[in-house]
Structure 1
Amino acid sequence: MRSITARMFVTLDGVVQGLGRTDEDTRDGFAYGGWGPAYNDEVMGRELGKGMAKPGDMLFGRRTWEDFISAWGRRTDGNPFTAKMNAATKYVVSRSLADASAWENSVLLRGDAVETVAKLKAEPGNDLSINGSAALVRSLHAAGLIDHYTLLIHPLTLGTGARLFDGPAPLTRFDLTGSVTTPKGVIIAHYSRH
């Protein structure tokens, strides 16, 4: 059975929307896009690199997958993250996507997220990681399918925006398995299901 790790960039007040760019996700009038890059530093890069160095496949919701195509899928910059993202098998969960041919090594999981991901998780294969895709994370968490979280907790509050757990989340206990604080104040916390 595969394990699933969700890697989420989050503010102190739980916002996960619009991390990278001002135009990344403006749904519901969100005006604070691009809040994350000011906190990038060498320690964060090194810690993210450790996760990317492990063998594994990636799991996306449709919206994040489409955003990542433009952010990563067309780059030719020699960045090791770019090479890893493009080479990895990428599963995209969607009810509306016609096919997944827009980004190499992508596989469409059509249908209900919980059902299709539970089936994929039960099959032999590489472990799965989710980067972003908050709606997917929320539904998989509610179904008990998330095994690990890596939360990159940024030292700011936004007061508005989509949160990691908008609404009730079921009682789930996790153990802290490691943490690192970056020079810019981001706490990178690793949790595993208890």
Structure 2
Amino acid sequence: MRRIIVCTFLTLDGVMQAPGGPDEDGEGGFAHGGWQKPTDDEEVGAAVAGWYEQCDSMLLGRRTYEIFASYWPTADPGNPFTPRMNGMRKYVASRTLTSVEWQNSTLLEGDAADAVRALKASDGGDVFVVGSGDLAQTLMRHHLVDEYRLTIHPVIIGTGKRLFAGGAVPTALEPVSVSTTKGGTVIGVYRTDGEPEYDSY
């Protein structure tokens, strides 16, 4: 059984939209693109690089796929992430794409939840859901996420797409590892652990 791992960058108030640059994703009039880099540090980079060394493939929604496919094939080959991103197997969930051209990409057929359920049951290693907020929420609603790997950066944006948006399914989490960098970013790995428990003081 393969694990589905949501791996993403978040602001302190949970926004995941357009961390990488002003032009990355302006949907909804979002004007805060590029919020991650000013809060980034070497510890974050090292942690994320380590995560990617452990994953077998990526699972992407249409928008994130198109952003990545327009950048990584021509990215600086001296960047250690470039060969990793291009060489890794990519699975793409989309209701509108009819083909995917980025090397090692496969377009999933049919209902996304059913396709990911079959992917989980196949042979192979961990699968990272990168960005792809709508897809991540679909997977959460169908209890298909096994783990979250999050970097939570010390900035508040106030608007934008959130990973845990309205309607998120209540889920208990088991902390696997949590640390804070010198720059104040929380690096957290959390494993899903069924439904939350409730009690009273």
| TM-score, normalised with respect to structure 1 | 0.95
5+ residue gaps, structure 1, are: none
Q: Give 3-state SS (helix, strand or coil) of 1:110's partner.
A: coil
Contact 2:54–2:126 under 8 Å retained in 1: no
In the alignment, which residue of structure 2 is the partner of 1:141? 140
User: Is 1:16 aligned to 2:16, yes or no?
Assistant: yes
Deviates more, 1:164-173 or 1:72-81: 72-81
| Cα separation, 2, equivalents of 1:73 and 1:37 | 22
User: Is 1:3 aligned to 2:3, yes or no?
Assistant: yes
In the alignment, which residue of structure 2 is the partner of 1:159? 158
In the alignment, which residue of structure 2 is the partner of 1:122? 121
Q: Give 3-state SS (helix, strand or coil) of 2:124's partner.
A: coil
| Cα separation, 2, equivalents of 1:32 and 1:111 | 34
Q: CA deviation at 1:126?
A: 2.1
Contact 2:56–2:127 under 8 Å retained in 1: yes
| Cα separation, 1, equivalents of 2:55 and 2:94 | 24
Q: CA deviation at 1:75?
A: 1.3
In the alignment, which residue of structure 2 is the partner of 1:37? 37
Q: CA deviation at 1:98?
A: 1.3
In the alignment, which residue of structure 2 is the partner of 1:191? 190
The 4+ residue runs of structure 1 with deviation greater than 6 A are none
In the alignment, which residue of structure 2 is the partner of 1:91? 91
Which letter maps to 1:73? P
Which letter maps to 1:132? G
Q: Give 3-state SS (helix, strand or coil) of 1:50's partner.
A: helix
The alignment-based identity, stated in percent, is 44
In the alignment, which residue of structure 1 is the partner of 2:169? 170
Which letter maps to 1:177? V
| Cα separation, 2, equivalents of 1:111 and 1:165 | 25
Contact 2:9–2:19 under 8 Å retained in 1: yes
Q: Give 3-state SS (helix, strand or coil) of 2:44's partner.
A: helix
Q: CA deviation at 1:183?
A: 1.9
Which letter maps to 1:75? A
Please give the residue correspondences for 1:65-104 in structure 2 after superposition, counting only pairs within 5 Å: 65-101=65-101, 103-104=102-103
Deviations 1:18-42 (A, max 9, x none): 1111011111111111101112221
Q: CA deviation at 1:55?
A: 4.3
Contact 1:94–1:111 under 8 Å retained in 2: no
| Cα separation, 2, equivalents of 1:68 and 1:183 | 29
Deviations 1:75-106 (A, max 9, x none): 143211111111100001111111112x1000
Deviations 1:97-154 (A, max 9, x none): 11112x1000110332111111111112222011111111111011100000011101
5+ residue gaps, structure 2, are: 194-201
